Amino acid sequence: AQTVTQSQPEMSVQEAETVTLSCTYDTSENNYYLFWYKQPPSRQMILVIRQEAYKQQNATENRFSVNFQKAAKSFSLKISDSQLGDTAMYFCAFINNNAGNMLTFGGGTRLMVKP
Amino acid sequence: DVKVTQSSRYLVKRTGEKVFLECVQDMDHENMFWYRQDPGLGLRLIYFSYDVKMKEKGDIPEGYSVSREKKERFSLILESASTNQTSMYLCASIDLYSNQPQHFGDGTRLSIL
């Protein structure tokens, strides 16, 4: 079975500073995808960034970047120049690239950006 | 614009009622999922489907069933609602090979009295 663990239930950061959210996962598969989602109070799930396991280069989307360590099964999210609108729940998720694949989520990290 | 639509944003039902939550996607995706979201527990997978009439149990299927008669519609059924099924329910639709691989509905906040 695959599992996703987010060890930080809550975090806070000052506006304009950098914060890193951690995520570890467990799988026996070699071909998979990892994702970070943002869920603001409006509760719509928004895909922030994704990483294919076969790619060595870390994914980047504007102020969001990941540190993907495949051997360590670690997938952290770095938010640079934090903005008030980044305040949200953040979920790490994993899916195998197989038929009948399950999308598994971590427990989430509540991020508060302070002015 | 692609879309996943959940039939209700808020729903209140009584213990013992049979409850249907509907989810419709317009992207021709094969994979669809139902999750419940509870504070401190993240999103837990109830059931998923990778094709019409195909269904697989997730992590917490007890007390639920699903139906996928057409590709675009994935229904979650609470056979006999109980108060511990009060939760937020999220539907998702996935195609790993598209640029926007996942789409979620807006969620249904279900209260069982």
Q: What is the pLDDT along chain B (113 residues), one digit of tens a residue?
A: 668 999 899 999 999 999 999 999 998 888 899 999 998 788 899 999 988 988 999 989 999 999 999 999 999 999 999 999 999 999 999 876 665 667 899 999 999 99
Cβ contact A43–B56 (<8 Å): no
Answer left, alpha or beta for residue B35, where phi above 0 means left and psi between -120 and 50 means alpha. beta
Distance CA(B109)–CA(B113), nearest Å, equals 13
**Nearest chain A CA: its distance from B7 CA (Å):** 15
Distance CA(A19)–CA(A81), nearest Å, equals 9
DSSP B46: E
Q: What pLDDT is recorded for position B95?
A: 78
Length of chain A as a residue count = 115
Encoded tokens for A88: 């949200």
Choose among B111, B74, B110: nearest CA to B89.
B110
Q: Among A74-83, A106-115, B58-67, B100-109, which is the least confidently predicted range?
A: B100-109
- Whether chain B has a CB inside 8 Å of the CB on A43: the answer is yes
pLDDT digits (tens, 9 = 90+) for A3-19: 899 999 999 999 999 99
pLDDT digits (tens, 9 = 90+) for A37-70: 999 987 788 889 999 998 889 999 999 999 999 9
The overall average pLDDT reported for chain A is 91
**Nearest chain B CA: its distance from A50 CA (Å):** 9
What Å distances lie between residue A45 and A90, B6, B12, B71, CA to CA? 9, 13, 23, 22
- Whether chain B has a CB inside 8 Å of the CB on A115: the answer is no
Q: What pLDDT is recorded for position A42?
A: 76
Question: Least CA distance to B39: which residue of chain A?
Answer: A107
pLDDT digits (tens, 9 = 90+) for B94-113: 876 665 667 899 999 999 99
Q: What pLDDT is recorded for position B47?
A: 94
Encoded tokens for B62: 């007890």
Residue A99's pLDDT band, with cuts at 50, 70 and 90, is low
- Whether chain B has a CB inside 8 Å of the CB on A103: the answer is yes
Q: What pLDDT is recorded for position A91?
A: 95
Distance CA(A60)–CA(B66), nearest Å, equals 37
Phi, psi dihedral angles at A81 (to 5 degrees): 50, 55
Under 8 Å CB pairs connecting chains A and B tally to 54
Residue A92, pLDDT > 80, answer yes
A6 chain-B contacts, CB cut-off 8 A: 42
